[in-house]
Homo-oligomer: A and B are copies of this chain.
Amino acid sequence: MKQLARTPKDIGHAIREARKGQRLSQAELASRSGLWQETISKIENGVASTKMETLFDVLAALDLEIQVQPRSKGAPSSMEDLF
């Protein structure tokens, strides 16, 4: 399951999917990553443009990592963002 991300919203989205895939509540993820449920909510919804530090905390809690790569041709980030 690889998710492209070009905006904070994309990442929030990817995080939510991963969290659900692992059957975790925001509160659980929060406690695992040393954050608050409210903060997770905001991150997932792209409300606050999180600090990297924080981002990596939740990525680690979900056992995810990030790959930096040249922009791929085709896919414009994520289809849904167009609507």
A-side interface residues toward B, CB under 8 Å?
Answer: 1-8, 11, 14-15, 18, 49-53, 55-56, 59-60, 63-72, 77
Contacts and interface: CB of A to CB of B under 8 A. Distances in A.
Q: How many copies does the complex hold?
A: 2
Contacts of A1: 69-70
Contacts of A70: 1, 63-65
A52 B49 contact: yes
A4 B67 CA distance: 4
Contacts of A69: 1-3, 64-67
Contacts of A11: 52, 66, 68
Contacts of A4: 65-67
